[in-house]
Every structure is written in C-alpha cells, then in structure tokens.
Structure 1
Amino acid sequence: MKKQRLIIRTLILIVLGAAVAYTIYANFKKDEIEKVAIGERAPDFELTDLNGEKHRLSDYEGQGVFLNFWGTWCKPCEKEMPYINNQYEKFKKQGVQVLAVNVGESDFAVKKFAEKYKLDFPIVIDESGDVQTAFRINPLPATFLIDKEGKVIKYHKGELTEEMVNDFMEQIKP
C-alpha cells in the first residue's frame, strides 16, 4: 500500500514538473512566434464597423493602411487613440487609412469609447478573434503598417506616442 502511494505521488510530481517546465519554455518562446512577416502581403480579412459597413483590407490597396489592434480596457490603447485620430485627420487626404480592430468587445462598449474620444476613423470588431489570430496579436496594442501594395512594412507592439503615429503614417503615405 505504501509503495503504491509512493508511485502515485511520484507520477503526480513528474506530471506537475513537466507542466511547469512546459509553461516556462512556452513563455520564453512566445516572443519568438513569427508575426506576419515584414515584406509579405498582409492577410486579407473582412470585418464590420460600428455603422454596419463591411471593410475588407484588400479594398484599401493603393493607400497606406495603419492597422491598429486595441481594446477599450487597454490603458495604452486608450492613451494612443486620440493621437491616431489627430494624425488620421492630417493624413487621410494624403492616402493613409486607419483601420482600428477591436478585439471582440461589444458594439455598445466600443461605441461608447469612440464617442468619448470623438474617433473619426473606421473601427471594426473582430468578434471571432480570427483576425487577431491571423496576425498573431499578443499583447495589445499592436500596430501594423501596410503599404499601398498591401505589404507589411512594419510591426510595432506597445503604446504609441503622437510623434510615432505621425512618423508611421509618413512611412505609408503613397
């Protein structure tokens, strides 16, 4: 009986040890997971905005696209949204489009957020998380710069300053 308990306890410890080892390994490797590659075509998607209009990424070919993934609960996202809006107003007539992809929140929460910050650019909601998965987004905020041919020229994870947004939009201006 004692021998059986010892074997069971040993097996449990081995399983727990393996789980801990895998968790540590996965955390070290998560930054190495390849995002959408720079220089490659961005994965196409179609999402609906807050007004019910559909937006397909490929419809913006010929324009630079500032593709931003965000959430209303994300403090850095909240801080950068007014910067993105200011620069969008400056660059939209120069062929730069902003697509802000909210990651699965309710229309109500996103509309309230957009109204609070008076956001003018298209905001689409990735309800299923498929677009977030296709672009391998983690953590938020995350921004992709897409040139007029639909190729990714830059990926930035983390909060943006207004100067960075301006610089990024200059880079994708057709």
Structure 2
Amino acid sequence: MKTVFSLILLCLVATTNLAAAKTPGEVEVGSVLREATMLGLSGPSRQLSQYRGKPLIINVWASWCGPCQQEMGSLERLARSKTGQQVTLIGISTDDYPEAARAFLKRYPTSFSHYIDQQLLLENMLGAAQLPLTLLVDAQGRVLAKHVGAQQWDSPQALQFIGKTLRLKP
C-alpha cells in the first residue's frame, strides 16, 4: 500500500511540474525579447526589433484554436480604438501550414500585420504553451505582461489593463 501511495504521489508531482513547465528559451515577464526574424503572413517579413520604440501587443494564435477565433474581432476593434492608436499590434500564427493561417485571416480579417512561426522559434520564446497568448511589451522590448486565453480586448476592463500596464495616455 505504501508503494502504491508513493507511486501516486510521484505521478502527481511529475504532472504538476509538466503543467508548470516553461517553453524552451521562454522570455519571462520583466525580460527583453530577443531578436527574431518573423516570416510575413499578411505582409513582408520583419525583424522583431523593428517594432521597438512604441509599445507592442503580440497575439499568438492558430487557425484551429476556437478561443483564438473568438477573440480576433476584439483585437481588430482594439487596433482601431484610441488605445490601439498608441500601440502596435501584431499577430503570430503557430500553424504548420501558411494556407491554413491565410484562410483564418480571410475569415477573420484584421488591419494589423500577421506573421507565421512554423519553426516554433517565436512560440517557444514567447511562451505559447497554450493559445491564445497575448503579450504586452514596452517600447524597449521588455515583456510587461502575458495573458493566456481568450479576452475581449476592447472591453473597458481590458483597455484599462492595457493602458495601465503600458503607461498609455488616457
């Protein structure tokens, strides 16, 4: 009986560690994002560092992700809002196939740029173990917050959170 209890306890501890595990090379909140080349999906490819100088919101999504589909409209409304005019908003697809990601963008059109991460470089660096993932990054490239799960990004609460976190003008 003692052996069975020990085995169950060991399994629980192992499962807990896996659930809390970070992605390989993840940049933690408070740290600066590393340089990365982003393969253009809805425009040209760019270096991540080209977005420095203005607060940045990064949304990591996939075409098959239901919560990603649910929140994309609110991200577009955020991009067009007064708050959205003070930041740069980009999307990063984790799809394996660009065709699937492009079909998603036709179904959920946006005015902001999207990139695709077929090699898991950005997915791992940003910490996208679960989708959707949204990061708030200051003008110097420092990650200030990460939010996992769908959010209504144009809601008063979300706009207040974004404004406070990124120190935007009211």
- Find the aligned partners of 1:169 and 1:56 in 2 and give their Cα distance: 24
Superposed CA RMSD in Å reads: 2.5
TM value normalised by structure 1 = 0.77
Equivalent residue, structure 2, for 1:77:
68
1:157 matches 2:148: yes
More helix by share: 1
Q: What do the CA deviations read for 1:95-153 (whole angstroms, capped 9, x no partner)? A: x1112111133222111211212211111000111111222321111111100111011
Residues 168, 56 of structure 1: CA spacing in aligned structure 2 closer, same or farther, 3 A cutoff?
farther
Among 125, 144, 159, the alignment partner of 2:116 is 125
Listed as ranges, the gaps of 5+ residues in structure 1 are 1-16
Query: 1:29-88: CA deviations, max 9, x gaps?
Result: 134335532221122211122245112221111111111111111111100001001111
Counterparts of 1:9-88 in structure 2, within 5 Å, are 24-34=12-22, 36-51=27-42, 53-88=44-79
- Give aligned-pair identity as a percent: 22
CA distance in 2, matches of 1:139, 1:114: 20
Moved more, 21-30 or 63-72: 21-30
Count of residue pairs the alignment pairs up:
157
Letter in 2 for 1:60: Y
1:26–1:138 distance in 2 versus 1, CA, 3 Å: farther
**Pair 1:113 & 2:104 matched:** yes
Give the secondary structure class of the aligned counterpart of 1:140: coil
C-alpha change, 1:150 and 1:120, in structure 2 (3 Å) is same
Amino acid at match of 1:88: A
Give the distance between the partners of 1:168 and 1:44, measured in 2 at CA.
26
Q: Would you say the 8 A contact 2:95–2:101 is kept in 1?
A: no
Match of 1:10 in 2: none
**Which residue is 2:160 aligned to?**
167
- The residue aligned with 2:3 is none
